[in-house]
A and B are shown apart, each in its own frame.
Chain A
Amino acid sequence: MDVDWELFWTSLWPIVQGGLTGTIPLSLASFALGLLLALVVALMRLSGNAVLAALGRAYVSIIRGTPLLVQLFVIFYGLPSIGIVIPPWPSAIIAFSLNVGGYAAEIIRAAILSVPKGQWEAGHTIGMSRGLTLRRVILPQAARVSVPPLSNTFISLVKDTSLASLILVTELFRQAQEIAAFSQEFMLLYLEAALVYWVFCLVLSSGQTRLERRLGRYVAH
């Protein structure tokens, strides 16, 4: 196969640009919202309140038990039939946030449970309320435990945002598709898209390592 290097180089910037203006902001926004949602759901499940715990469990079960693509299509193509029309970008952010929330909730819940009970007790004996103990004592320790699994979730999310191309969001993969359709160089353009995703993920992984080191500075090695 002859590689059309000229096409490779001229298409590289539009693809990277699709990543910088589509994939990355979409991932960051969805991840931030998803984490917030996950924390709420994790706390619901740990609250000791049966109704809240059941709601949290149901949410996690539905999100993890259905394909992300189906969730995305329900929101973008399904909801308009009951009169709710959401533009592509918000649709994508809603779908990805809900999805991340379902997975991250379990990670955060497990991380909170991994902090020894004695830490709660130590917080209480110096007069801290449950909320303050959670914020000052438990969550900082849970954060360190949850960085590796949450990083996995984030990297999965970055790649999953390629699905947004199917609801008309201009991101990395959609750029590659459009150039491929125009030039008919499918192999080249899709491999090029894969390469750019890979580089993005490499950068993110190194960020994970740095974050782990920072959060783990109080732990004996």
Chain B
Amino acid sequence: MSPTDPRTPSEGGTPSDPRTQSEGGGANDPIVAVTELRKSFGENHVLKSIDLSVAQGQVLALIGPSGSGKTTVLRCLNGLEIPDGGRVAFRAGPSVEFGRPVSRRQLAALRDRSGMVFQHYNLFPHRTVLENVIEGPVQVQKRPKDEAVREAEDLLRRVGLQDKKDQYPHQLSGGQQQRVGIVRALALKPALLLFDEPTSALDPELVGEVLHVIKELADEGWTMVMVTHELAFAREVATEVVFMDGGVVVERGHPDQVLRDPREERTRQFVHRLLNPF
């Protein structure tokens, strides 16, 4: 499951301590940089000029109230949403300027760089667990099937689902389905993993098994952007927390700072509300 070059944590960081990378030189060398991203749905200005960059090995947690635009940022990163303006640039990869016609090839190049884990898993219900995982490697990356199967079985073993490989998604629990969703994204060996509220649809007792897998990936040095409401998890796993509200980035910084001692009043209110719901 360890990412391979050029995705291995760069010099200066060790996979077991990804935080050192974001604080070290990694930030100067972002794996993806987003500048002045704008997006409206009709009159609703969801994103009003967002700048973000994600360094190699960094785990960026996007938090904020619903409607703040955090999921839209994530979806713009892989072209599921077409921004109205701005730029998404991958290191040694595609650099797409929005606000002008964007070709399908450019969108495909963007998607090629990232893997996505959905809130509602979005597994292919007509394919078995194993078929879900090898679909991308075999159909898109044109890799030999036996090799893809071997890798998929390894990945499934890593998340404890080797004995479920011939089952259909509906036969699995939500937590199991989401772990398959993560493995499906990993199988393509993307430079960047995107998580869209990966535990929000799960029963509370199933949240842990999914977060556990995500934490392991973080420890292995995968670069991730994760929209989440799990503040405790963000504090433990993220290297940087970005708080969004009303389509802008209100505050960003080290998790301890943003979540414990926010500079902005809006951040303070949001964190307080999430930690003290009653």
Interface residues of B in 170-210 (CB under 8 A from A): 170-171, 184-185, 188
By the criterion CB–CB under 8 Å, are A127 and B80 in contact?
no
- Answer whether A125 and B80 are a contact pair too, CB < 8 Å, given A136-B135, A218-B170: yes
Can you name the residue of chain B whose Cβ is closest to the Cβ of A119?
B122
Complex CA–CA separation, A140 to B118 (angstroms): 21
A129–B116 CB distance below 8 A: no
| Contact A144 B126, beta carbon cutoff 8 Å | yes
CB contact list, A195-219 vs B, under 8 A: 217-219
Expressed in whole angstroms, the Cα–Cα distance for A12 and B9 within the complex equals 80
**B78 within 8 A of partner (CB):** yes
Q: How far is the CA of A15 from the CA of B169 in the complex (A)?
A: 49
B112 at the interface (CB under 8 A from A): yes
- Chain A positions within 8 Å of B118 at CB level: 118, 121-122
Complex Cα distance A124/B114, Å?
A: 11
| Cα A137 to Cα B163 with chains together (Å) | 24
Please give, as numbers and ranges, the residues of chain B lying within 8 Å of A124 by CB-CB distance.
78-80, 111
Interface size on A, residues (CB 8 A): 22
Of the candidates A124, A141, A218, A220, the one having the most CB atoms from chain B within 10 angstroms of its own CB is A218
Is the CB–CB distance between B125 and A218 below 8 Å? yes
Shortest Cβ distance from A221 into chain B, in angstroms? 9
The residues in B between 63 and 113 inclusive whose CB is less than 8 angstroms from any CB of A are 78-80, 104, 108, 111-112
Who on chain A is nearest to B112 by CB?
Answer: A127
Question: Which residues of B (40-78) have their CB < 8 Å from a CB of A?
Answer: 78
Question: Are B170 and A128 in touch, CB under 8 angstroms?
Answer: no
Docked-complex contact B126 and A118, CB < 8 angstroms: no
Max count, chain A CB within 10 A of own CB: residue among B108, B114, B125: B125
| Given known A-B contacts A121-B80, A218-B170, A126 and B122 have beta carbons under 8 A apart | no
Distance in angstroms between the alpha carbons of A130 and B111 in the assembled complex: 13
Tell me if A54 counts as interface (CB < 8 A to partner B).
Answer: no
Contacts of B115 in A (CB 8 A): 125-126
CA distance A128 to B170 in the complex (A): 23
Within 8 A of A (CB), among B125-159: 125-127, 135-136, 139-141
B80 near A118: Cβ-Cβ < 8 Å:
no
Closest to B123 in A: A122
- Interface size of B as a range: 20 to 34
Q: Is the beta-carbon distance between B125 and A219 smaller than 8 angstroms?
A: yes
**Residues of A contacting B123 in the complex (Cβ-Cβ under 8 angstroms):** 122
The answer to whether B108 and A127 have CB atoms under 8 Å apart is: yes
Complex CA distance for A126 and B123, rounded to whole angstroms = 11
Query: Contact: A126 with B170, CB < 8 Å?
Result: no
B125 adjacent to A128 (CB under 8 Å): no
Are the C-beta atoms of A127 and B124 separated by less than 8 Å? Answer: no
Q: How far is the CA of A176 from the CA of B141 in the complex (A)?
A: 59
Chain A residues 106 to 165 lying within 8 A of chain B, measured CB to CB, are 116, 118-119, 121-122, 124-130, 132, 136-137, 140-141, 144
B contact set with A: CB distance below 8 Å: 78-80, 104, 108, 111-112, 114-116, 118, 120, 122-127, 135-136, 139-141, 168-171, 184-185, 188
Mind listing 28 A-B residue pairs with CB under 8 Å? A118-B120, A119-B124, A122-B116, A124-B78, A125-B78, A125-B80, A125-B111, A125-B115, A126-B184, A126-B185, A126-B188, A127-B108, A127-B111, A127-B112, A127-B136, A127-B188, A128-B140, A132-B140, A137-B124, A141-B126, A144-B126, A217-B168, A218-B125, A218-B127, A218-B169, A219-B125, A219-B170, A220-B170
| 3 tightest Cβ-Cβ pairs between the two chains A and B | A126-B136, A125-B116, A122-B122
